[in-house]
Chain A
Amino acid sequence: MISFDRVSKRYDEGHDALREISIEIAQDELVFLTGHSGAGKSTLLRLIMLMDRPSRGQVVVNGQNLAGVRPRNIAQHRRNIGVVFQNHQLLFDRTVFDNVALPLIIAGYDTREVGRRVRAALDKVGLLNRERAMPIALSGGEQQRVGIARAVVGKPKILLADEPTGNLDPTLSAEIMNLFEAFNQVGVTVLIASHDLVLISRLRHRIITLSQGCLVSGRAQ
Chain B
Amino acid sequence: MIGRQETVRRKEGASLSRTDLRGHAKAWIQHHRLSAADSLMRVLDSPGSSVLTWLVIGIALALPVGLNVALDNVSQVSAGWDSPTQISLFLQGEVSPDRLRELEGEMDARQDVSKTRVISRDEALDEFRMLSGFADVLASLPKNPLPDLILVTPDVALDGPAVSALREELQGNSDVAEAVLDMEWLQRLNSLMALSRRLVLAIGCMLVVGVMLILGNTIRLAIEGRRDEIVIVKLVGGSNGFVRRPFLYTGLWYGVGGGVLAALLVSAALWSLEKPISDLAMLYESAFQLSGLGVMGSLNLVILGGLLGLAGAWLAVSRHLARIQPR
* Inter-chain contact B31/A75, CB cutoff 8 Å: no
- B236 interface contact, C-beta 8 A: yes
* Inter-chain contact B237/A89, CB cutoff 8 Å: no
* Inter-chain contact A76/B326, CB cutoff 8 Å: no
* Inter-chain contact B240/A72, CB cutoff 8 Å: yes
Q: How many angstroms from the CA of A103 to the CA of B325 in the assembled complex?
A: 17
* Inter-chain contact A106/B242, CB cutoff 8 Å: yes
Residues of chain A from 49 to 99 with CB closer than 8 A to chain B in the complex: 49, 51, 72-73, 75-80, 83, 85, 89-91, 93
* Inter-chain contact A105/B31, CB cutoff 8 Å: yes
Residues of A within 8 A of B (CB): 49, 51, 72-73, 75-80, 83, 85, 89-91, 93, 102-103, 105-111, 113, 150, 154-155
* Inter-chain contact B239/A76, CB cutoff 8 Å: yes
Residues of A within 8 A of B228 (CB): 91
Question: What is the chain B residue whose CB lies nearest that of A77?
Answer: B237
Question: What is the chain B residue whose CB lies nearest that of A90?
Answer: B232
| With known contacts A75-B240, A103-B237, A109-B16, A80–B27 Cβ distance under 8 A | no
Question: What is the chain B residue whose CB lies nearest that of A156?
Answer: B11
Mark B223-247 against chain A: 1 for CB-CB distance below 8 A, else 0. Answer: 0000011011111111110100000
Which of A72, A77, A105 neighbours the largest number of chain B CB atoms within 10 Å of its CB? A105
Residues of B within 8 A of A102 (CB): 232-233, 236, 238
- B30 interface contact, C-beta 8 A: yes
* Inter-chain contact A51/B326, CB cutoff 8 Å: yes
Q: How many angstroms from the CA of A107 to the CA of B228 in the assembled complex?
A: 20
Q: How many angstroms from the CA of A208 to the CA of B24 in the assembled complex?
A: 40
Residues of B within 8 A of A155 (CB): 11
* Inter-chain contact B238/A154, CB cutoff 8 Å: no
Mark B1-30 against chain A: 1 for CB-CB distance below 8 A, else 0. Answer: 001100110010001100000011011101
Q: Kindly identify which residue among B15, B27, B229, B242 contacts A91, using a CB–CB cutoff of 8 Å.
A: B229
Residues of A within 8 A of B24 (CB): 108
Q: How many angstroms from the CA of A77 to the CA of B325 in the assembled complex?
A: 15
Question: What is the chain A residue whose CB lies nearest that of B232?
Answer: A89
Pull 17 A–B residue pairs with CB atoms less than 8 Å apart, ordered by A.
Answer: A72-B239, A72-B240, A76-B3, A76-B239, A78-B235, A79-B236, A83-B236, A89-B231, A89-B235, A102-B236, A103-B237, A106-B239, A106-B242, A108-B27, A108-B30, A113-B15, A113-B16
Residues of B within 8 A of A109 (CB): 16, 27
* Inter-chain contact A108/B237, CB cutoff 8 Å: no
Q: Kindly identify which residue among B11, B28, B231, B236 contacts A78, using a CB–CB cutoff of 8 Å.
A: B236
Residues of A within 8 A of B4 (CB): 76
Question: What is the chain B residue whose CB lies nearest that of A99?
Answer: B232
Residues of A within 8 A of B16 (CB): 109, 113
Which 3 pairs between the two chains have the least Cβ-Cβ distance? Answer: A108-B27, A79-B237, A75-B239
Residues of A within 8 A of B229 (CB): 91, 93
Residues of A within 8 A of B282 (CB): none
Residues of A within 8 A of B34 (CB): 105
The distance from the CB of A60 to the nearest CB of chain B, in whole angstroms, is 16
Which of B4, B26, B240, B326 neighbours the largest number of chain A CB atoms within 10 Å of its CB? B326
Residues of A within 8 A of B239 (CB): 72, 75-76, 106
The distance from the CB of A203 to the nearest CB of chain B, in whole angstroms, is 26
Q: Kindly identify which residue among B11, B23, B233, B327 contacts A154, using a CB–CB cutoff of 8 Å.
A: B11
